[in-house]
Amino acid sequence: MRGRVYLVGAGPGDPGLLTLRAAELLARADVVLYDRLVSRGVLALARGAKKVYVGRAVGDDPSHQETTNEAMARYAGSHRVVVRLKGGDPVMFGRGGEEAQFLRGLGIRYEIVPGITSGIGSATYAGIPLTHRGHSSSVVFVTGHEDPTKRRESVKWRRLARSADTIVVMMGLSRLPLICEMLESGGLDGSTPAAVITDGTTKRQKVIEGDLSSIASRARRAGARPPAIVVIGGVASLRGELAWRR
């Protein structure tokens, strides 16, 4: 294999949040294999590259990953700089670790370039600091959508209710009513502030505010659609004071 595959985080949407290393690699790329959540502004930086869409949505056939792996291997055999461009951070619920294992198994050289995960970027653009001395000394990031091939769900939602001051749920909008119900049954007060942020950091960003007991119904009435994150915890109450981008 003469090429190298770069597993690159594209950030949460705003091209201004891209790292310098990511921008450099996009400018040099021969091929870019990009996901559904990569913004047009970021993709435009790869002016001279062949762009190949390998994205998938929640509910798609999980075997799609095999097709993506095959594409990485194929292009690494014929191109020097192959960028696997992933929304947010490549290893934060982005399968970057799995793809690195695949590449290593074939002896293909690779590099992992971190990106700002949507769980942090979207909350910050909404005026919600995930930690705050007066509200939160701990934060946990959790996926609301697990691998459909698992025999049982590994997220212990009821235990999670008391494990951290701030809970950030990613890819959990479709299951939000159930998630909130399980957190409440685990002991988290229904009056705990919560927010749903859709299309975070982009011009389409929308923030829906409420509390644990009401946020699911409010998000449904507002017509919230993915991509979205959910922030649950006292820090969500700070948006009214700290929101700088409305």
Residues 238 and 123 in one domain: yes
Give pLDDT, residue 125: 98
Instruction: In the chain, count H helices and then E strands.
Output: 9, 10
Give pLDDT, residue 80: 93
Average pLDDT value for residue range 129-134: 97
Residues 79 and 143 in one domain: no
What total of structural domains would you count in the chain? 2
Residues 229 and 126 in one domain: yes
Q: Name the domain boundary from 113, 143, 159.
A: 113
CATH number of the domain where residue 21 is located: 3.40.1010.10
Give pLDDT, residue 183: 97
Type of residue found at 204: R
CB contact set of 221 (below 8 Å; sequence gap of 6+): none
Q: Name the domain boundary from 97, 113, 129.
A: 113
CATH number of the domain where residue 204 is located: 3.30.950.10
Residues 59 and 84 in one domain: yes
Specify the higher pLDDT residue, 163 or 245: 163
Give pLDDT, residue 35: 95
| CA–CA separation, 198 and 15 (whole Å) | 17
Query: Of the candidates 115, 120, 81, which has an alpha carbon nearest to the alpha carbon of residue 9?
Result: 115
Q: Name the domain boundary from 89, 113, 137.
A: 113
Domain that holds residue 173: 118-242
**Residue 209 pLDDT more than 70?**
yes
Please, how many CA atoms are within 13 Å of residue 184, restricted to the half-sphere of its CB?
Answer: 17
What percentage of the chain exceeds 70 in pLDDT?
A: 93
**Residue 147 pLDDT more than 90?**
no
**Residue 148 pLDDT more than 70?**
no
What percentage of the chain exceeds 90 in pLDDT?
A: 88
Interval 59-75: pLDDT, tens: 556 567 899 999 999 99
- Per-chain mean pLDDT for the chain: 93
Any alpha helices (H) in the chain, and if so which ranges?
20-28, 40-43, 64-76, 96-105, 118-125, 157-160, 176-185, 215-221, 239-242
**Residue 149 pLDDT more than 60?**
no
